Structure 1
């Protein structure tokens, strides 16, 4: 915010990237972009249908391409949870934006999330939510400029912490 850089929100499905992103953008006068919606718009189908049609790797290729081409100024960008597998996209964001990892404990996430496939979550065959959580947490931490621990905080409390750390 100080330097006008865009803000990229990363984290597991269900941490509130889109919900918090929309409110944060309004409160700081930025645009809001949802990378999952950009992917759906480009492909003309829902995330779960892209995954069903193109497979896990095909979906990640599309996600990488869409995210690496985002050139938004003064924006809050919510990525899909799997964006951290897209190295080109993440390096692009690292160069041009401030990356914030919304971290939530597994126990809370597992209660929040219902049907992962219905949410359009890119799972490999046989992969569980815990497997996904452990695999991605390392990547989220690798790319994050700032980590916000949500714990059992609500959206308002998480937003206040986020705004305080950004100012």
Structure 2
């Protein structure tokens, strides 16, 4: 089975953007699990949140993760994938989990649609609270942590490739 690379991190961390570039560089398939969720649900993530709530979105996300196989993929997960122990264990069998660790201030600058972006969060939860809650989960599942603070895309890609190939 061809190794995969699983990207985790906060919304705005660059999982999809870096994931596509990484897949091109390594000649792997690319999948964004948020798109798989939307295809299965037949609607945008925000619609699921608005109609059924954040827990329903997390439930659909777990089902999508468990129902798919990812050999030879760069997988850009949704930011909330780490809430599913079963989902993360399933992903880990395909390759290393890479946490794109972006500082809170930088994420705030990148996210201007927090309330409408389709983020699986409690209704009253602030971005800071969400960041704090998820940080420990990203660290729990990460095989590799990439410090993304003020770094350009090329240096991040090079470090991810190096770390993943070294099996760090």
TM-score tier, shorter chain, comes to: over 0.9
| Aligned counterpart in structure 1 of residue 130 of structure 2, from 129, 132, 147 | 132
Other-structure match for 1:59: 57
Are positions 1:148 and 2:146 aligned together? yes
Normalised TM-score (structure 1):
0.95
| Aligned counterpart in structure 2 of residue 107 of structure 1, from 105, 108, 121 | 105
Which consecutive unaligned segments of at least 5 residues does structure 1 have?
none
RMSD: 1.2
Report deviation, 1:61.
Answer: 0.4
Report deviation, 1:161.
Answer: 1.4
Whole-Å separation in 2 of the counterparts to 1:6 and 1:164: 14
Q: Give the count of matched residue pairs.
A: 165
Whole-Å separation in 1 of the counterparts to 2:93 and 2:159: 24
Report deviation, 1:53.
Answer: 1.4
Whole-Å separation in 2 of the counterparts to 1:119 and 1:57: 16
Whole-Å separation in 2 of the counterparts to 1:47 and 1:117: 12
Are positions 1:79 and 2:77 aligned together? yes
SS state at 1:15 partner: coil
Normalised TM-score (structure 2):
0.94
SS state at 2:5 partner: strand
For structure 1, which segment, 115-124 or 8-17, has the greater mean C-alpha deviation from structure 2 after superposition?
115-124
Report deviation, 1:122.
Answer: 1.2
| Stretches of 4+ aligned residues off by more than 4 angstroms | none
For structure 1, which segment, 151-160 or 16-25, has the greater mean C-alpha deviation from structure 2 after superposition?
151-160
Which consecutive unaligned segments of at least 5 residues does structure 2 have?
none
In the TM superposition, 1:21-32 aligns within 5 A as 21-32=19-30
SS state at 2:150 partner: coil
Whole-Å separation in 2 of the counterparts to 1:21 and 1:125: 29
Whole-Å separation in 1 of the counterparts to 2:4 and 2:128: 31
Report deviation, 1:152.
Answer: 0.9
For structure 1, which segment, 32-41 or 108-117, has the greater mean C-alpha deviation from structure 2 after superposition?
108-117
